Amino acid sequence: MAFSSGNSKGPMADINVTPLVDVMLVLLIIFMITAPMLTHKVKIDLPQPNPNIVNPDNPPEPVRLKIDQSGALYWNDTPVNEDGLKAQFSLLGAKPVAEQSEVQINADDAVAYEVVARVLSDAKSYGLTKIGFTEGQ
């Protein structure tokens, strides 16, 4: 004779969830162990605030430097070549840091990165520290 339960009206409708719970717990433990290993730490050296610096009451007017898509430079809406730009940077760099105007660079989205990098390099070489980026107008 075959095995039978007391009532054989049809197939058994109950699902045994114990193996499913066991598998899910094992997967949960595996993910808990491997997830911290997948994250990569990025070390960032953030600037620290200096309480000794006093902001001036009347800061100088910022300089707007526009770089269009062809790489042409405009110093406060006046066209300027690279030599003229370096001359302007040397004039700004000769001033004390507190009196230097901020250089706000507005680079077109299509301009080559090399042009922007060269402008930033020139500004740094002349001792400019107040440099920012703006979006077009």
Residues 40-55 pLDDT 10s: 777 888 888 888 877 7
Q: Span 15-26, mean pLDDT?
A: 90
CATH architecture of 63-133: 2-Layer Sandwich (3.30)
Q: Which amino acid is at 114?
A: E
Report the percentage of the chain scoring pLDDT > 90. Answer: 50
Compute the average pLDDT of residues 23-44. Answer: 87
Q: Which residues contact 87 (CB under 8 A, 6 or more apart)?
A: none
What does R_g of the chain's alpha carbons equal in angstroms?
A: 33
**Domain spans, the chain:** 63-133
Please enumerate in sequence order all residues whose Cβ is within 8 A of that of 132, keeping only pairs 6 or more positions apart, or say none: 62, 102, 103, 104, 105
Pairing of strands 78-80, 73-75: antiparallel
Where is mean pLDDT largest: 4-8, 47-51, 127-131, 132-136? 127-131
- pLDDT value at position 67? 94
Q: What is the pLDDT of residue 34?
A: 87
> Which residues in 26-49 are b (16+ Cβ under 10 Å) and which e?
eeeeeeeeeeeeeeeeeeeeeeee
* More confident call, 65 vs 98: 65
- Confidence band of 1 (pLDDT split at 50, 70, 90): very low
